[in-house]
Structure 1
Amino acid sequence: MMEKRIAIVNPSVPHYREDFYRYIKERLACDVFTYEDMKSTSNRNFKESQLITKRLKSIKLKKFLLFNIFPLLSKQYQTLVLMWDFAQISTWLLLITKPLHRKKIILWGQGISVKRYLVEEVHPNRLLMAMLKLADGAWVYMEKETVQWKAIFPDKAIVALNNTISGVEKVLDTHYDVDELKGIKKKHNITEDILLIYCARFDNPYRRFDLLIQTIELLDPRKYGFIIIGEGAYKPDFLPYKNVYDYGKVYEKQLKDELFSIADIYYQPGWIGLSVVEAMAYGKPILTFKRSEAVLQCVEYHYIEHDRNGILLNNIEELKETLSKLMQRELIAMGMQSKRIVQDKLLMGNMVQNALSIL
């Protein structure tokens, strides 16, 4: 009898998702299919994982994607996990022909548009709704979206994965004592008392790099330093700022451990996503702006609880006032809460178990 397997389709497998697939494969027979080439992944400043995947030929016409569905129709695949994206024509084809191929289909996505979040949290997207109506269930990233979709489809198998990153357990174990931290600052020639760290790609303007520059110019350069990790087409020129330490892309764990450990606060003005999980695992309080039409935030924004593990700001003026009042003990307390949230619900094992629960 042929072994029953599941097939998971994703654009690519970035390094932060590698452990998720490995753990899934340890628990059941699974093939991962990708349709993006390495050049596309590199252009988005992703580090490709070493996980072996099967390639699907694809054609992209403006925003619409068509990939080869025939490998997925093999009898060996009982369950398909497909992207919950209404621009993927092939996913629609597999959903519509479900009575013929009789495969279980789980949709995987945020369940909401980051760009249209304020509208869709009240009025869910009708195309996403139509897709879920045809599917058997969905993996979403956050509890908030699970509650929203369960209210519409109470009988569907919908689960929040609680999105996290590969290697999060190792990040949680990172620790330096006071003398070691002083030595690291000296090693990197960093002298400012309070350090804000930014670690994300400079790949789209929704991350509000203008607010990052305004913050650098607003704060006292003798007191506040900025550690920058990341590259991308929209990266500002940090050379004029002597209190900015730009490290570009950093994938070496020891260097990242050092930089996050000497930082006091994780600061990303907008479009805050999975990077927040890494920062929280390092025990950093999170500083960002409240979601609004002007400042878009990804779904992981909901890991931040105001005054518990971070600060949600209304405007740039409030930032300066807030930082001037924050005591070191308050930063440490919020950082401890960040770490506790990761330990309680954002371990990779938890994410995998949530995913498996509806397969």
Structure 2
Amino acid sequence: MVLKNVALLNPLVPHYREEFFKQLASHVNLDIYVYENGSEYANFKVSELQVKNIKNFGFLGNRFIFYSIFPLLTKKYDTLVLMLHFGHISAWFLLLTQVFHRKKVILWGQGISVKRYLQEQKKPNLLFRWMIGLSHGVWLYTEEEQKQWKKIFPGKSIVALNNTISGVEDVLATDYTADERRGLKEKHRIQQEICFIYCARFDNPYRRFDLLIQTIELLEPQRYGFIIIGDGIHKPDFKAYPNVYDYGKVYEKQLKDELFSIADLYYQPGWIGLSVVEAMAYGKPILTFRRSDQILQCVEYSYIQDRRNGILLNDLEELKQSLSHMVRNDMDEMGRASKQIVKSKLLMRNMTENALSIL
């Protein structure tokens, strides 16, 4: 069988995407082009996967980017995977000149703006509509966005990748007994009966760190503990709270396994993204706030099924009331549901197969 020759463009390759690219490369001849410098990401682990840097320049705060099209137009490639980003001027050029270069163009992205989600849910972005219309096919992150665009382009190859993370199978396999979890609590000197865990970068205020602090101050510190994983310029000072256990950046799997095993619930007030997949794979119920004009959520928010594998909250009072009525069996049941959703939809091989289905 002759393998397809594919050029794929991304800003960079984060560690959580590495396995996806490796699996793709086992089915196609894949070259990955990047246009950003990973050294600029202080609180972000960049993969060491081999990539090709592409010349580029941006303007208006990099909302619009030109990148060199010449490496992508070499005869070796029959398929280009470009970003579904209407600010990529070069992507427009490649879409509009397909009749000349005769390469298949697949677009990869969310298909909807996180900041304008509620509006675009009702009225899809016109520029996205034009880009998708010009493409051969689209990789979207989740089934919610796939359904929306399939209604508009029923005959086009549009797939939901079901966005997931590298190593998700290893996370699913993590299993500590009740006695082992008690021992880990003693090891980490965590005394509270119920523990939340937060695991995301503090680089985006849309994650609503203000609500995280308000929650810490609202709940009884002798009963509720908070494990914090992450760093960033917007990180609050947690030193004043004796029930907060701050571990900063954590990439060591053994430590992460221990901290997630100690935790009873995953809590991130806003901007829920791929971190939810990791938390679900660890078997944690997810607590977050409903998407609204004030609470922005990423597309992976759709993985949370209210009262099945988590709770979608309206306000802090509802959070307090929900916790007061929650028993251990409720948490265990929602945690099992989280794991089951990951096993059925969010394994890396599923993401790869979905991508390959239109390659």
Is residue 231 from structure 1 mapped to residue 212 from structure 2 by the alignment? Answer: no
Q: Distance in 2 between matches of 1:52 and 1:103?
A: 24
Is residue 55 from structure 1 mapped to residue 57 from structure 2 by the alignment? Answer: no
Partner of 2:344: 344
Partner of 1:6: 6
Partner of 1:167: 167
Aligned length in residues:
356
1:3/1:76 contact within 8 Å kept: no
Matches within 5 A, 1:270-309: 270-309=270-309
Structure 1: 4+ residue segments shifted above 6 A: none
Post-superposition offset of 1:98: 1.2
Partner of 2:249: 249
Post-superposition offset of 1:69: 1.0
Partner deviation per Cα, 1:67-108 (whole Å, 9 max, x = no partner): 111100011100000000001111111111111101100000
Post-superposition offset of 1:110: 0.3
Partner deviation per Cα, 1:130-154 (whole Å, 9 max, x = no partner): 1111111100011111111011111
Identity over the aligned pairs, expressed in percent?
A: 63
Q: Distance in 2 between matches of 1:265 and 1:259?
A: 11
1:4/1:76 contact within 8 Å kept: no
Partner of 1:136: 136
2:271/2:298 contact within 8 Å kept: yes
Partner deviation per Cα, 1:141-191 (whole Å, 9 max, x = no partner): 111111110111111100000000000000000011122111111111100
Q: Which ranges of structure 2 fall in alignment gaps of 5 or more residues? A: none
Partner of 1:211: 211
2:3/2:27 contact within 8 Å kept: no
Amino acid at match of 1:164: T
Partner of 1:37: 37
Q: Distance in 2 between matches of 1:33 and 1:216?
A: 43
Post-superposition offset of 1:39: 2.4
Q: Distance in 2 between matches of 1:276 and 1:204?
A: 16
Moved more, 54-63 or 195-204: 54-63
- Output the aligned Cα RMSD: 0.9
Q: Which ranges of structure 1 fall in alignment gaps of 5 or more residues? A: none
Partner of 2:189: 189
SS in 2 for 1:201: coil
Amino acid at match of 1:237: D
Is residue 74 from structure 1 mapped to residue 90 from structure 2 by the alignment? Answer: no
Amino acid at match of 1:240: A
Structure 1 residues 75 and 244, CA, compared in 2 at 3 Å: closer, same or farther? same
TM-score normalized with structure 2 length: 0.98
2:4/2:28 contact within 8 Å kept: no
Q: Distance in 1 between matches of 2:92 and 2:230?
A: 36
Q: Distance in 2 between matches of 1:97 and 1:328?
A: 59
TM-score normalized with structure 1 length: 0.98
